[in-house]
Structure 1
Amino acid sequence: MRQGLWNPLPQLLPILVSAGVAVAVWAAWLGWDQHRDVHPDGSTTGPYEAWQVIGLVLTLLVLVYGAASRGHVAGAVFGTTVGLTVAASYDWSDDASGLFMVGVALVMLGSLVGTAIVSSATALAGRHGGQTRA
């Protein structure tokens, strides 16, 4: 019986790639917009517009679907979640109120749940998609 060293790279590579892509997608959609809009009544909104967040979500949806359809469900779920969490933490860390960690935790939980649902549905559809019924 041949015994070799366990090589974790094939299992870690999809996670690392998904995390890197998630950070890059965050930077492309949200990373460049850092100013808040001040309205005439003194209220502020932003720094992101709705179209930026929608673009981020749709882009990640395509990427998560692609990874999960190739059998990299763990990479799609955990890599994307880690990447978005790291990007949000870095992007929001200059918040003076200290509440940025609440937002980071919500990004982490939301992305974990969202990617798990999309990845599970994709894997399930792929498993049943190849079967024909008589």
Structure 2
Amino acid sequence: MISNRTPLACLVGVVLLAVASAGCWWAWAAWDTTYQVDPVTGTTSGPYAGWQIAGCVLSLIVVTAVAGARLPVWVVVPTVTVAFTAAWAATASTDTTGLWAVGAVMVACGTFLGAAFVAGCAVPVRWARARLEA
């Protein structure tokens, strides 16, 4: 059961979770599409820097933990996974190699596993809140 909240409040919570999950990708990495070339070695890297991915992952952890403390895991995990993967795929699908689909599967699997772990860790917080509200 989600909670004793109204269905509209629950729906709003799910929509906000989806927007926040996709927003993690858009805020940290979607805007960076340029590759960096080392002038000495000629090695190409990117388009994302390590700090961008770290910020994106940490933000997604916070979003998932907060949602996991308020909504059931079975709602949080697919919402975070689908929203984040869709945001990632929207920018990656412009890849001319065609490998973006493989990347999308890997992003979806990683996001699913991470969201399940984080949301699962937040369940005791939800239980404690329910006891306080009762």
Output the TM-score relative to the length of structure 1: 0.80
- The alignment status of 1:20 with 2:19, answered yes or no, reads yes
Distance 2:63 2:72 in 1: 11
| 1:36 partner amino acid | Y
Q: Would the alpha carbon gap of residues 19 and 65 (structure 1) be closer, same or farther in structure 2, given more than 3 Å must change?
A: same
Percentage identity across aligned positions?
A: 33
Higher Cα radius of gyration: 1
Name the structure 1 match of 2:110: 110
Output the TM-score relative to the length of structure 2: 0.80
Q: CA RMSD in A?
A: 2.4
- SS of 1:42 mapped into structure 2: coil
Preserved contact between residue 80 and residue 115 of structure 1 (Cα < 8 Å)? yes
Name the structure 2 match of 1:63: 63
How many residues are paired up?
A: 125
The alpha carbon displacement at 1:17 in A equals 2.2
Distance 1:13 1:78 in 2: 16
Taking the TM superposition and a 5 Å limit, the aligned residue runs for 1:1-134 are: 12-39=11-38, 40-124=40-124, 126-127=126-127
Structure 2: where are the runs of 5+ without partners? 1-5
Distance 2:27 2:104 in 1: 18
